[in-house]
Each structure stands twice: as C-alpha cells, then as structure tokens.
Chain A
Amino acid sequence: MSQARIIIVTGAGGVGKTTLSAAIGAALARRGIRTLVLTVDPARRLADALGISLNDGGTNRPTPVPGLPGLDAVMIDVTASWEAITRRHSDPDVADRLVDNPYFRAIADRFPAAQSYAAGEQVAEFAQSGAWELVVVDTPPAAGGLDFFTAPRRMRDLVGGRLLRWLTGAHIPGRRLLYRATARPMLRLTDMVLGSALLEEIAEFLLDLRALYDGLSARAADIDRLLSGSDVYVATTDAPGPVREANRFFVHLPDVDVRPSALIFNRSLPERWITARGPKGNARQDQALRENLRRWAVEARRNRDARVAMAARLQIPMATVPWLRHPPNSVTELADLVSQSEGLENVLDR
C-alpha cells in the first residue's frame, strides 16, 4: 500500500492556517496530484469553497470538492473520531461502557491530547488508505497546535495508566489489586478531599481505558512516525502573538522529532507602499488617499521588518503570501493564492 505525502500546516490561531491548507491542496490537485484536505473548523466561506457542509458537523467522510477534480476535502469531528478509536481498539462491551462513561465524554470533549490524537489517527488512516497521493492537514487549534504533535505520546501515557500504575504499583493491574490499593492508608487523605467514590469511578474508567492500550500504543507509534516524516509548515503573520507562537514551534517541535521545513508568512503587505507617494492635489479624496497610504506605509514597513527578522533568525525556507483584499472564496481562487505568493511553489516542490 502506498503511503501519501503529508503536509501539515501549523501555527497560532487566526493566521489563516485553514485557508493556506486549502490553497496548498487546491494548487497541488490542479497539478494532477490526488489530494485530500483535512480540516477541523473552517470558516463558512472556506467550507463553501470546499463543498463542506457545516451543518452536519464533522463527518470524517471525504467528499469531492466541486470544480476541481482530484481534490477531496473532509472536516473531522474529534468526538466521533475518539469514539471510533475506542471501538477499533477494544471489545464491544468495553467500548460501550467507555463511550457511555461521563469521564469519557469529558475527556473526548476537552482533553486536548485526545482531540489531537483523534485527528492524528484520522490523518494516518487517510494517508495509508492508498486513495490519495497527498494529505494536507490543517492542525486543530487546541493548545496552540504543538499539542497535535505530542498527542500520540500523551495518549499512550494516559491509557498506559500512569495513575493506575501509581495506585497499584503494577504495570497492568487487575481490578482486585486496584481496590486493595485504594484502601491503602496513604490514600485516605485523597479520599477526604476528592471523595473515595470519585477515586473509584476514575479508577474503573482508567481500567477500561487500559483495554485500549495494546492497539492504541502500536497505532500511536505509527502516527508518531508519520508525523515526523511529514512536511511541517509553520504559518505566521506579522502580529506579535503569532510570531511568538511560531518561534515556540521551532524551539519545541524538535523535542518530538519534528522539524518544520518552511515558514509561511501570511498577509504580507506590498513593500512598494513603504516609499510610495500619494496623489497630488487638494481634493478631499486626494487628502484621504494620502492619509490612508501613510497609515498603510507604516504597516507595510512593520510587516517587512517582521519578515526580515524572522528569516534572519530561523534560517529556513520562507514563503510569503499576500494579504488579499478579499479572502479567496472559490477553489480556483484558493489555488491561485499559491501562484500569487512568493516562494510557496518552491517550498511545495522541495
């Protein structure tokens, strides 16, 4: 079975990750590469352009993007994926018990590693299905995106029973051992604060979760390998928050064996604005145009300085995507965004 190339676009929220992922997918599909774009939370305009219905929530079922043969898109629903994962990796009765458990729902809804892990497992499934040559991933926003890369390890820790191991001292404890353990005097205080009933409920839940361990840890190792073999692009704008976030990616991704291969600087402003002159003349419109240009010249300078500073610091291929007056709202406009950018085609060709 052939394994698809994976491109992962990551970065702070609001920098245009979803647009960039869709644009990259559309541009490469237009070159005849069978492509899947996987997204988590698209804006309406993008969902429409990709032919995704927001009303169904995530379906996890890729559908063809109208107007561009060879391009499919899918919006994934992390809660459903997590349920699917549970059913895949455990017996039906254990799976039923887990899925009905209030902690399970809570974990599926808000334990960010679980969401990210679910997304990772979906990516692996699509990439290994043989149906696509390329899978473009728009990373989920939870915990700043870094989480997406650490999730497989953290999930292994969770179902590997860090708490259970500690409660019982055994690697794979049985139920009886657990109850003897919760009766240990050192736990009485925990009982006092949390109530022993909660502790037991959680332990029961974790015991069931343990049933996922073998299947899940093999899969997690698999996903880890896939992620470190992917092309990871960090997206940013000139805003200080996203720049800080991008730097964080470059510092911390190597910890999980992921090396970003490019920086995509989105919403860049034309450098010619910096030195341009406005219209002469004293009509009200001329004055307004001059004042507006003066404001945006300052912004264009700040934008260029941020770009130059990041390029100097990171020493990594950089692509620059212009700040469009109207965000792309069709698949053609999305694909065109790549040719309007500077350096993005080179980055994609590697």
Chain B
Amino acid sequence: MKNRKEIERLVLLRNSGELDDHKRIEIDERIASDPEVARLCSEMEEMKGLVRIKDEEALVPDKAIETIMHAARRRSRQRRTGVVGYSFSWRPAIYSAAAALLLLSTSLLFWQKLAPQAPSSNYAMLNLNWNSKIDEQLSELDQLVTSTLLEYSEEIDSQRDLNSLAREIINLEEAQI
C-alpha cells in the first residue's frame, strides 16, 4: 500500500465486502495503526450516512403504489388461471422441429416405395392407355384420308385423260367436215 489512492481503493473494497481475507486483515491492521487511514474510513462511513435519503424524503405517492399492486394482482391472477403471455422456450421448439423432420422423411420414403401401387398411378396408367388408343385411331384415320385422296386424284387424272381424248375426237370430226 503505497499511496492514498491505493489505500482509498482498498478501504472502498473492504467496506463493500469484496476484499479477500489476506487484504482485509492487512487493511484492518492499517486502520488500527494509521490515524490517516482510520480517518479516511470513518469519513466514508460518515458521508454514507449523510448521503442516504431520509425516510420522509422517500415518500412514494399512494397512486404509484396502487398501480404497482394492481399490476401485481392482475399478473398473479393470470399466472394462476394460466392466461399468461406465452414465453418462448427453445427446447420444445427444437423437439417439434425434429419430429416434423422425421415425419417428413418417413413420408417421403413411403411415397417412393409405394408410388407405383398408388391409386393416383393407376389413374395415370389409364390416361396413358387412352392416349395411345386415341393416337392409334388418329393414325388410322390419317391413313384412310390419305388413301381416299389418292384414289380421288387417280380418278381425276383418268377423267382428265378422257376429257382430252373426247376433245381430240371432236376436233378430228370437225376437221373431216
């Protein structure tokens, strides 16, 4: 303990009960033997006594106390009836998230395994059959149309030939006349 500042610091710590035993004994001895340190210590105690607010100064208005007590009663009633604000806690949130994840992965696994037998897949198969049947009919219709068109075009061609033959005959007859 070299200077006044250091002594004052130790006295402050001693008074607030934060010195270890060794230091406390040391400062107590110093207080007992050194009038200057003893004076410092008593000065602080004296100031503390004078600073403290007197009871008559610390009069809190009744209205403020009533408001506090009203809030306390309301809160206490809420707590008893269970109607109290939800307080967030991590543990249930983590458990819920883990359960949801497990459920999701299990469902995914089942869906992958059972997908072909699922009613929805039968429906898809039915759709597929229908589609292929329609395709077949369409191609048959297409062939029919094409062949009919060909026949017609042959007929037209032959008709055209007959027409030109008839015209030639008429032309020859006119020339003979």
Q: Is A bound to B?
A: no
Interface residues of B (CB under 8 A from A): none
